[in-house]
Amino acid sequence: MQYKRVLLKLSGEALMGQRQYGIDPQRLKEYAKEIKQVVDKGVELAIVIGGGNIFRGVSGASNGMDRVQGDHMGMLATCINGLALQSALEDEGLYTRLQTAIEIKEIAEPFIKRRAIRHLEKGRVVIFGGGTGNPYFTTDTAAVLRAIEINADAILKGTRVDGIYTADPEKDETAIKFDSITFKDVIQKGLKVMDMTAFTLSEENKLPIIVFDMNKQGNLLKLVSGETVGTIVNH
């Protein structure tokens, strides 16, 4: 395997499948099967999931809600998604732990770095919910932060596009895909990979980011096996 330990970042919207909001059980099941293939190969896998399919703090704030209050609601949304994903993974026979940045001790462990690493070493999938636990930070930033804390080899950003392009491929047919690109080039070309806080944190800690299409069957396994899938951002 190319990577021994990785952090998979999924957006909340990815869980909607064909729905307008909420969670699509079929999409969850598909993701769980993909993740199981990777864990069965001995890869240590942690997951950070967004909450945009349920609630977004930023959109709440734009409608007049207090931003801090909205972000706390968004954190709870990521915990709901984490529970749903945990259930789907356990249905596939995987051992899991849900750790949250905000304490909800009845349903999840608090995030403790050493405990998280120990779970990974034992072959458990660790899901990190609650973002960073602080308002004004996205789940992208939470993903990079947790990846650094658990000494992950790379952060895998699962999206619905198959990499980073010169423009949005869903809007511009002439957009050209990059197989690899440097952090510096992403900034200079003004490409959107992650929010700037997350991206800078990743660059400073020399953590590669791989953007790939999570919805294409087998992509995740190919990626951790060392095949060229999606776009890698590194130094």
pLDDT at res. 211: 96
pLDDT at res. 183: 95
Name the residue type at position 223: L
What is the mean pLDDT of the segment spanning 154-163? 93
* Angle of helix 25-40 versus helix 67-91 axis, rounded to 10: 60
Domain ranges of the chain: 5-234
Is residue 105 over pLDDT 80?
Answer: yes
Going by pLDDT thresholds of 50, 70 and 90, the confidence category of residue 124 is very high
Pairing state of beta strands 231-234 and 180-182? parallel
The dotted CATH code for 5-234 is 3.40.1160.10
Exposed, middle or buried, 140 (CB in 10 Å: 0-12/13-18/19+)?
buried
Q: Is the dihedral of CA 114, 120, 123, 124 positive or negative?
A: positive
Considering the entire predicted model, what is its pTM?
0.94
Angle subtended at Cα 3 by Cα 225 and Cα 184, rounded to the nearest 5 degrees: 105
User: At 62, which helix (H) or strand (E)?
Assistant: helix 57-62
Q: Which two tokens stand for residue 117?
A: 């690493």
Lowest mean pLDDT among 6-10, 46-50, 63-67, 74-78: 63-67
Report d(CA 205, CA 158) in Å as an integer: 21
Angle subtended at Cα 140 by Cα 27 and Cα 108, rounded to the nearest 5 degrees: 65
Is residue 192 over pLDDT 90?
Answer: no
